[in-house]
Chain A
Amino acid sequence: MFTIIRDLARQNMEFLCGLLLFAVIVGLVILSYFSPYGATDIYLLPPDMPPDGEYWLGTTSRGQDVFWQLTTGLRNTLYFGIGVAFLSRIISLVVGLVAGYAGGTVDKVLMAINDSVMVIPQFPLLILFYFVLKDNMTWVALIVIMASLGWSYDARLIRSVAIGLKTRPFTTQSVYSGMSMSKILVEEHLPYVLPIVFATTMNNMIWSIGMEITLSVLGFTDIETPTMGMMIYWANAHSALIAGTWWWVAAPVAVIVVLFLALFLLSMSMNEYNDPRSRLNRMGG
Chain B
Amino acid sequence: MDALVEVQNLKAYYRAFLYGVDREVRAVDDITLTIGHGEIYGVAGESSSGKTTLIKTIAGAIRPPLKVVSGKVVFHFAGGTQDMYAMTPDERMALRWLHLSYIMQASMNVLNPVRRIHHSFTDFAFRHMKVGKNEFFTKVGSHLERLKLDAHLLQAYPHELSGGMRQRMTIALATILTPEFIIADEPTTALDVIVQRDVLSMIREIQREIGSSFLFVTHDMGVHATVSDRVGIVYAGRLVEEAPTRKLFALPLHPYTQHLVASLPSIGDAKARPSLEGRPPNLAMPPEGCRFHPRCPKRMDICSQKVPPMITVEPDRRVACFAVTGDQA
Contacting pair A282 B21 (CB below 8 A): yes
Could you tell me the distance between the alpha carbons of A119 and B25 in the complex, rounded to whole angstroms? Answer: 51
Interface size on A, residues (CB 8 A): 9
Nearest-neighbour CB distance to chain B for A85, whole angstroms, equals: 24
Interface contact B25-A8, CB-CB below 8 Å = no
A contact residues around B235 at 8 Å (CB): none
A21 to B128, CA, bound (A): 52
Min Cβ gap A27→B in Å is 26
Q: Kindly list chain A residues whose C-beta atoms are within 8 Å of the C-beta of B284.
A: 285
Chain A positions 1 through 28: 1 when the CB is less than 8 Å from some CB of chain B, otherwise 0: 0011011100100000000000000000
By secondary structure, the A interface counts as helix
| B18 interfacial contact with A, CB 8 Å | yes
Are B19 and A4 touching (Cβ within 8 A)? yes
Q: Tell me the chain B residues, 1-39 only, with Cβ under 8 Å from chain A.
A: 14, 16-21, 25
Give Cα A6 to B284, complex, Å.
Answer: 23
* A285, B19: Cβ atoms closer than 8 Å: no
Q: Are A7 and B18 in contact (CB under 8 A)?
A: yes
Contact A285 B18 (CB under 8 A): no
Give the residue name and chain of the A residue nearest to B21 (CB).
A282
Considering the chains assembled together, what is the distance between the CA atoms of A11 and B16 in angstroms?
A: 11
Q: Which residue of A lies closest to B14 (CB)?
A: A285
Q: Is A56 an interface residue (CB 8 A)?
A: no
A269 to B235 Cα, complex, angstroms: 37
Contact B16 A3 (CB under 8 A): no
A156 to B21, CA, bound (A): 34
Q: Tell me, in angstroms, the Cα distance from A8 to B18 when the chains sit together.
A: 8
Cα distance A7–B16 in the bound complex, in angstroms: 12
Mark B179-206 against chain A: 1 for CB-CB distance below 8 A, else 0: 0000000000000000000000000000
Q: Cβ of B20: which chain A residues have Cβ within 8 Å of it?
A: 3-4, 6-7
Task: Determine the residue in chain A with the shortest Cβ distance to B48.
Answer: A285
Tell me, in angstroms, the Cα distance from A145 to B284 when the chains sit together.
52
Alpha-carbon distance between A273 and B20 when the two chains are bound, in angstroms: 11
Which B residues touch A3, using CB under 8 A?
Answer: 20
How far apart sit A3 and B284, CA to CA, in the bound complex (Å)?
Answer: 20
Is B16's CB under 8 angstroms from A282's CB?
A: yes
Nearest chain A CB to B52's CB is how many angstroms away?
12
**For B18, B19, B21, B25, which residue has the most chain A Cβ atoms within 10 angstroms?**
B19
Residue of B nearest to A284 (CB): B48
- CB neighbours (8 Å) of A7 from chain B are 17-20
From 146 to 175 in chain B, residues with beta carbon under 8 angstroms from any chain A beta carbon are none
A282 and B18: CB pair below 8 A?
yes
Within 8 A of B (CB), among A265-285: 273, 282, 285
Q: Which residues of B contact A4 (CB under 8 A)?
A: 19-20
Give B175 Cβ to nearest chain A Cβ, in Å. 30
Q: How far is the CB of B283 from chain A (nearest CB, A)?
A: 8
Q: Pick the contact of A273: B16, B17, B19, B25 (CB < 8 A).
A: B19
- Chain B residues positioned under 8 Å from A11 (CB to CB): 17-19
* Distance A120 CA – B260 CA, assembled complex (angstroms): 64
Q: Which residue of B lies closest to A272 (CB)?
A: B19
Give CA–CA (A124, B17) in the complex, Å.
Answer: 51
Interface string of B284-302 (1 = CB under 8 A from A): 1000000000000000000
- B residues in contact (CB < 8 Å) with A: 14, 16-21, 25, 284
Interface residues of A (CB under 8 A from B): 3-4, 6-8, 11, 273, 282, 285
In the A-B complex, the 5 residue pairs with the closest CB atoms? A3-B20, A7-B19, A4-B20, A7-B20, A4-B19
Given contacts A8-B19, A282-B21, A285-B14, 4 further A-B contacts (CB under 8 A): A7-B19, A7-B20, A11-B17, A273-B19
Listed A/B pairs (20) with beta-carbon separation below 8 Å = A3-B20, A4-B19, A4-B20, A6-B20, A7-B17, A7-B18, A7-B19, A7-B20, A8-B19, A11-B17, A11-B18, A11-B19, A273-B19, A282-B16, A282-B18, A282-B21, A285-B14, A285-B16, A285-B25, A285-B284
